[in-house]
Amino acid sequence: MRTYKYKIKNIPTSELEKLNSDSASVWNECLKLKDVWDYAHGYSYTSKECELWLDKQLAKSQQLHSQSIQDIRQRYFKGWQGFFGLRKNGDKKSKPPHKQKRYTTTTWKKSAIQYKDGMLRLSNGKDNKPLSIPLPVNVDIDKISVIHLVFNNGQYELHFVYKTEDVEQIGSDDIMSVDIGEIHPMVCHDGVDTTLFNGRYIRSLYRLRNKVIASFQERISKCVRGSKRFKTLVKRKWKKIRTIDNQINDCLHKHTTTFAKLCSQKNMGVIVLGDLSNIRDSVDYGKKSNQKIHQWAFDKITNLITYKAKRLGIKVKLINESYTSQTCPKCMNRKKVSGREYKCKCGFTYHRDGIGAINIYKKYQGCFINPVVGPMAVPFGIRLDVPKLPCKHKECS
Ligand SMILES: [Zn+2]
């Protein structure tokens, strides 16, 4: 599956807002109906019966296309499934879906999508006007599986999700492990060589992003909420953030493409990623905003690697990465790392950022306890071509 993003231009925002608000109303109704169901049955559980009953009730009260309504109901129950899964694994903090929404993504499935004379017509049920837009040039109508209406960074976008052809799998069993981190967005290891992807420029963009948010927030907080000044500032803030996010995105794309090419050159059959779903508990970033952006980058890198690898016929596997950055690959001693070099009391030393990737490699092979033998190759660094800003000194120019 791939997604093509299309920025909507010719339709008033209020119309799009109404759709996602209607979708939120479906979601909120799900919350309410589930309570009714639970009350009638005495305890909280979900079943096929419960889902069918909800669908029936929603069809009576809600607008939008019936498939769009069903999609939100499915999302709601996915939330429940996730909750049960986490509970089973001993997570006591997790909650089932319980928050009311003001807006949420609207989805059109195949039966709601019509195409005539270059125009796409997205049906929104009997009482609502259908959404009518020209078909973007890059989109093949026959391959579309669903379309999402997404509010992304202050503006509405249509996300066309379409199927891609299956690629023949690479037969080799060679493994490339990847450690996704803060200092280096990616460090990979193939059993012999370690490659570091430099993250300095990306980190500077993160800092700039936080700075922009902080400075705008200060100015916005002085305005009356909803005033004209308030609105312009919010708009300008999003515009700036969008630009920075695009730059970060671009960097992540370049790095992951280089990485995918490297794997392909070396004829790797499997890419192993550390599973990052627990990262939120284990890392203390201090500030909430920092955490959010890092989390976002983690997910983004994982997604980019996954789809780029699949396109090349390389399998992607996730494994639990706990302790991989602290354990000595030679003697299994665990220690907190400080400084640039990882130095173990057994005499093993290596660049600290390579440790995680080496251990993920070993862990996937099932020989986490086997010591590495012999000297390791010195890690190789890959940098991005960073746009050079003109110097501000008069003498320099
Ligand atoms: Zn050691």
Name the residue ranges covered by the structural domains of the chain.
Answer: 2-162, 175-202+237-382
CA of 338 to the centre of ligand 1 (A): 15
Query: What mean pLDDT do residues 282-298 have?
Result: 62
348-361 per-residue burial string, b: 16 or more CB within 10 A, e: under 16: bebbbbbbbbbbbb
Q: pLDDT grade, residue 280 (50/70/90)?
A: very low
CA of 200 to the centre of ligand 1 (A): 29
CA of 372 to the centre of ligand 1 (A): 10
Query: What mean pLDDT do residues 270-277 have?
Result: 82
**Statement: residue 97 has pLDDT above 50:** yes
Proportion of the chain above pLDDT 70, given as a percent:
90
> How far is residue 201 CA from its own chain's centroid?
20
CA of 378 to the centre of ligand 1 (A): 18
**Statement: residue 265 has pLDDT above 60:** yes
Query: What mean pLDDT do residues 38-66 have?
Result: 85
Beta strand residue intervals within the chain, DSSP E: 2-7, 106-109, 113-116, 119-122, 131-134, 144-152, 155-162, 175-179, 186-189, 194-197, 270-275, 315-320, 341-343, 349-351, 380-382
**Statement: residue 395 has pLDDT above 80:** no
Decide if 111 contacts 127 (C-beta within 8 A): no
Kindly report which listed range (20-24, 49-53, 281-285, 321-325) carries the lowest average pLDDT score: 281-285
Q: Which residue has the higher pLDDT, 79 or 381?
A: 79
**Statement: residue 193 has pLDDT above 60:** yes
**Statement: residue 43 has pLDDT above 80:** no
CA of 308 to the centre of ligand 1 (A): 35
47: number of Cβ within 10 Å: 10
**Statement: residue 70 has pLDDT above 60:** yes
Residue 233's pLDDT is: 94
**Statement: residue 270 has pLDDT above 50:** yes
| Amino acid letter, residue 249 | N
CA of 269 to the centre of ligand 1 (A): 30
CA of 179 to the centre of ligand 1 (A): 20
**Statement: residue 281 has pLDDT above 50:** no
Spatial neighbors of 283 by CB under 8 A, at least 6 apart, are 291, 294
Residue bearing tokens 């949420």: 104
Residue 150's pLDDT is: 92
CA of 314 to the centre of ligand 1 (A): 33
Residue 341's pLDDT is: 84
Collapse the DSSP code of 356 into the 3-class scheme (helix H, G, I; strand E, B; otherwise coil) and give the result. Answer: helix
CA of 347 to the centre of ligand 1 (A): 6
CA of 212 to the centre of ligand 1 (A): 44
Tell me the CATH number for domain 175-202+237-382. Answer: 3.30.420
Residue 94's pLDDT is: 83
